Amino acid sequence: MSTTAEQMQDTGQLDDWLNKKLDELLPKKLEELESAKTPQMSIIATKGTLDWAYPPFILASTAAALGWDVEVFFTFYGLLLLKKDIPAEVSPLGNPAMPMKMPFGPKWFQDFSWPMPNLIMAGIPGFEKVATGLMKKTFKNKGVATVEELRDLCIEADVKMVACQMTVDVFGFDQNEFIPEVAEYVGATSFLPVAQKSDVCLFI
């Protein structure tokens, strides 16, 4: 009886020791596994105007430079950002809060934000082209890369760019109109599992 009691006591002590060690080692191991995991980011790009073309490419290229796995799903008007020649223009009418900056003149003149009421923007023929030219010139003066250059950065960084097949069909596009680096033409059912597994998912 005494031998059995001693064995049970030894077993209990062993269990206590094992539990203590697990409590010490398990959090560290989980932390190591979490730190070793490559972060994943998914971006849904839905807009094709020049001002909205920058965010997905800037975020995607930056995340890729940090070593993240990045996938961008281009759908509806965002699909235009995958065309060989990006037709993006500024649309101040859709963004009335956007200030207009002048890329010429003295510094105080360039720094001034010119409020443009919707009535003026809608009433001046060709205003979007003027606004597009001003924005491109301002960005160039500030040393900001073009949308095409940012897209090239994404390609070099192995950002996976996928196109929405439904949008291609609805708008009657041909796949030859798009850059060859488009990885896949897929639907929402193919992209959603990718978004579900992502650490960061952005809708732009």
Tens-place pLDDT, residues 152-167: 999 999 999 999 999 9
Listed in sequence order, the DSSP H helices in 37-116 are 50-65, 107-111
The predicted pLDDT at position 1 comes to: 47
Check residues 176 and 95 and name the one with the higher pLDDT.
176
Q: Between the CA of residue 81 and those of 56, 75, 109, 179, 186, what are the distances in Å? A: 10, 10, 32, 10, 16
Report the C-alpha dihedral over residues 7, 8, 11, 16, rounded to 10 degrees.
-140
* Spatial separation of the C-alpha atoms in residues 24 and 18, rounded to whole Å: 10
- pTM as predicted: 0.70
Question: Residue ranges of the domains in the chain?
Answer: 1-37, 41-203
Q: What is the pLDDT of residues 96-130, one digit of tens each?
A: 555 555 555 666 555 655 555 454 555 566 667 77
Q: Which fold has domain 41-203?
A: Hypothetical Protein Ychn; Chain: A, (3.40.1260)
Residue with tokens 């360039």: 110
Q: What is the pLDDT of residues 41-59, one digit of tens each?
A: 999 999 988 888 999 999 9
